[in-house]
């Protein structure tokens, strides 16, 4: 995001906070070189387990109340690390979600762009105009963003 023409925004901080939540949940750094490849990047591993309803396999054992808290933290973290900055909630909403003052809509897969077929990486081309340079999909269709409802 910081390499984009618009520069860094408060949404970078939201993303970083999401990564911090993952580190707290997993009691490990978000990237572990020593782990098997499928478990190296904790946020993606957490999504895989969350998506298959096995989240507690990557969270330290805890009682039922702490499991609910861990699940809530994980959902908030997924919202915070959405690929599109505009899909990330403002920190005021993050706080309300963590404190239970707000319901959390099921998050979209924030890593979908990483799980696409390798050929999909070739769909992006660089277009240049006299005003700016931007990355656009080769088919000219841009994706919509997620909203927190």
Residue 16 pLDDT > 70, yes or no?
A: yes
Question: Alpha carbon 44 to chain centroid distance?
Answer: 8
Residue closest to 16 by CA, chosen among 2, 5, 4, 32:
2
- Check if the beta carbon of residue 77 is closer than 8 Å to that of residue 25: yes
Highest mean pLDDT among 53-62, 64-73, 97-106 belongs to: 97-106
Q: Average pLDDT, stretch 112-140? A: 47
pTM: 0.65
If you classify domain 10-137 with CATH, what class do you get?
Answer: mainly alpha
pLDDT in tens, 58-96: 787 678 888 899 899 999 999 999 988 999 999 999 999
Residues in the chain, overall count:
149
Residue 44 pLDDT > 80, yes or no?
A: yes
Residue closest to 21 by CA, chosen among 65, 59, 48:
59
Looking at residue 142, what is its pLDDT? 41
Q: How confident is the model at residue 102 (pLDDT cuts 50, 70, 90)?
A: very high
Percent of the chain with pLDDT over 70: 58
DSSP line for 77-122: HHHHT-SSGGGSPPHHHHHHHHTTSS--PPPP-TTHHHHS-GGGGG
The residues spanned by each domain of the chain are 10-137
Q: Average pLDDT, stretch 97-104? A: 95
Residue labelled with tokens 């618009």: 6
Q: How confident is the model at residue 39 (pLDDT cuts 50, 70, 90)?
A: low
Q: 124 - beta bridge partners?
A: 137
Looking at residue 43, what is its pLDDT? 84
Q: How confident is the model at residue 38 (pLDDT cuts 50, 70, 90)?
A: low
């Amino acid at each position: 995001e910081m390499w984009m023409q618009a520069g860094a925004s408060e949404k970078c901080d939201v993303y970083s906070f999401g990564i911090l939540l993952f580190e707290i949940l997993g009691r490990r750094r978000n990237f572990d070189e020593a782990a098997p490849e499928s478990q190296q990047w904790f946020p993606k591993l957490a999504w895989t387990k969350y998506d298959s309803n096995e989240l507690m396999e990557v969270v330290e054992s805890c009682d039922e109340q702490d499991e609910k808290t861990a699940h809530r933290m994980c959902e908030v973290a997924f919202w915070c690390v959405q690929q599109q900055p505009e899909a990330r909630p403002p920190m005021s909403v993050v706080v309300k979600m963590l404190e239970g003052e707000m319901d959390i809509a099921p998050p979209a897969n924030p890593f979908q762009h990483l799980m696409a077929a390798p050929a999909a990486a070739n769909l992006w081309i660089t277009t240049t105009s006299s005003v700016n340079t931007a990355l656009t999909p080769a088919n000219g269709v841009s994706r919509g963003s997620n909203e927190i409802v």
